[in-house]
Structure 1
Amino acid sequence: MILAIITLLIVAFLAFSAFVAYKMVKPPRFIGDWTPKDLGYDYEDVTIETQDGLKLSAWWIPNEGPVVMPLHGYTRSRWDEVYMKQTIEFLLKEGYSVLVFDFRAHGKSEGKFTTVGDRELIDVLSAVDWLKKNHPKKAEKIGLIGFSMGAVVTIRALAEDEGITCGVADSPPIYLDKTGARGLKYFANLPEWLYTFVKPFTVLFSGAKELNMLEYADKVRKPLLLIAGENDPLVRPEEVREFYERNKNVNQDVELWVTDAPHVRTLKFHPEEWKARVRDFLSKHL
């Protein structure tokens, strides 16, 4: 009887861990109702076909300047109003052209599961392909501004795609397992230790491969602006600083800005300074 009860408890615990993992890799779709037209700009609804066969929903907003692609974070989409809407408006007012899409399994894009930075790199590379095919002159210089998961992809794209010129990585998770464990508490009010049991199921469901972001500190040799917040519950500023110090050894164009903001909230807490720093960075490198 005792053995049966213990077995039942173990099965129930594993089933709960699997349920949590499923919810993590299949976030709710965040879809809004505003468009670039509300910001005063004409745009096109476009579809980006990824290299692995998915269709991403996107907006193409042409302007006189080079292209910058804002990349949203986990659980969000291009409709996010905490940082995406403001970033899109800022870029358009600065004269940049904007291509913005929903990552796989987010917003209106296809995809059953998110891999939180792994296969999302394919999404960015496919967006670059779309630009080269449809707007080749605009594809000569491309900047990225990524937030959280989008910041991870920004760093990876700088290292792995020749078509990317420079990037801003706002609140980039460096130790993804630590951020994942903190995320359980932040998003679901669950204990961080549960992540040890949840992680294998996330890999099973999504097929994501494990990323070592510190390896990219040895690979990125293009202009990169890192932004970290002292009050970030998901990404410790010292983790971003570790990446920065290591990247400095191979990259003379890496910058670090540490603020007092929570996760991806520097733009909200310090909008004018964020815009000034990003404006200067893009003007210099793009």
Structure 2
Amino acid sequence: MGWLVALAFVIFLFLAFSAVVGYKMVRPSRLIENWTPKDLGFEYEDVTIETRDGLKLSGWWIDNGSDKTVIPLHGYTASRWYSLYMKPTIEFLLREGYNVLVFDFRAHGRSEGKYTTVGDREVIDVLSAIDWLKEKHPERAGKIGLIGFSMGAMVTIRALAEDDRVCCGVADSPPIYLDKTGARGLSYFAKLPEWLYTFVKPFTKLFSGAKELNMLEYADKVRKPLLLIAGEKDPLVKVEEIREFYERNRVINREVELWVTDAPHVRTLKLYPEEWKERVGEFLKKHL
């Protein structure tokens, strides 16, 4: 009987470890920095956006005098302050003449929310931000575009399919097969074996209450201008997965584009800033 007790104890420790990993995955550390759009040369307003399910999101509204507004969407564990891609994207959009509404997703930055759902309920955050914009500044919401990175790219794709008020979107490094990306993330960020994700995933769903997303389903739903950006050196999302989405979407969507670079995850802007700005700038000018 002693070996049964030992086996049960080992199983208990393994499950406890998996639970801790799952808990940490849905409660990422919050990235908060001190810079504001004022440091980029633009006046701004601190805003609070109440979501349709009752959370308060923290953000900035930068009125640039246009009737076109772009909402940049950060990725998992990031926030509006993320210097890798959010800060240069905000500055780029403002210098292009667009208004910018930017906020921290739930459980990120200064926003409320205990758990992230990595793309599930985050779409509520985006739709609620559009609600806020339409109510507070309807004259600035003639056309609304989205630029999302990683998790934000997933939400961009979902919002294009689910909200008629969004006219176009840029999705940089969007995870398509979430289980595969989650497993790769365990290896890439935590140096844990990918197979562990099978045991961690049930705990992430238990803690966060998130529903499973099938991003490929949205390839059959999006019929609006969409620019997909994929990187050949991305350790989290394979080019082939984004290409599969693209090939499936273009059957019904003549205005979907795919741009493949040799960059790692969400780093095309960092490695090729001028080309990124040119490609994204032309896309927005055409469709906004």
> TM-score, normalised to structure 1's length?
1.00
* Residue equivalent to 1:38: 39
CA distance in 2, matches of 1:64, 1:91: 13
Question: C-alpha offsets along residues 226-274 of structure 1, whole Å, 9 cap, x if unaligned?
Answer: 0000000000000000000000000000000000000000000000000
CA distance in 2, matches of 1:186, 1:117: 20
2:57–2:110 contact (8 Å) kept in structure 1: yes
Question: C-alpha offsets along residues 186-233 of structure 1, whole Å, 9 cap, x if unaligned?
Answer: 111100000000000000000000000000000000000000000000
Quote how far apart the aligned CAs of 1:58 are: 0.5
CA distance in 1, matches of 2:149, 2:118: 12
CA distance in 1, matches of 2:189, 2:22: 13
CA distance in 2, matches of 1:162, 1:54: 23
2:269–2:276 contact (8 Å) kept in structure 1: yes
* Structure 2 residues not aligned, in runs of 5+: none
* Residue equivalent to 1:135: 137
1:158–1:166 contact (8 Å) kept in structure 2: yes
CA distance in 2, matches of 1:200, 1:184: 15
Question: C-alpha offsets along residues 69-116 of structure 1, whole Å, 9 cap, x if unaligned?
Answer: 000000000000000000000000000000000000000000000000
Question: C-alpha offsets along residues 94-146 of structure 1, whole Å, 9 cap, x if unaligned?
Answer: 00000000000000000000000000000000000000100012222100000
* Structure 1 residues not aligned, in runs of 5+: none
Is residue 2:204 matched to residue 1:192? no
Identity between Structure 1 and Structure 2 (%): 77
* Residue equivalent to 1:224: 226
2:231–2:268 contact (8 Å) kept in structure 1: yes
Quote how far apart the aligned CAs of 1:64 are: 2.6
CA distance in 2, matches of 1:36, 1:44: 9
2:260 equivalent among 253, 258, 263: 258
* Residue equivalent to 1:100: 102
CA distance in 1, matches of 2:58, 2:39: 18
* Residue equivalent to 2:157: 155
CA distance in 2, matches of 1:140, 1:61: 16
The number of aligned residues is 286
Q: Which amino acid is 2:11 matched to?
A: I
Aligned positions of 1:58-207 closer than 5 A: 58-65=59-66, 66-207=68-209
- Give the match's secondary structure for 2:112: coil
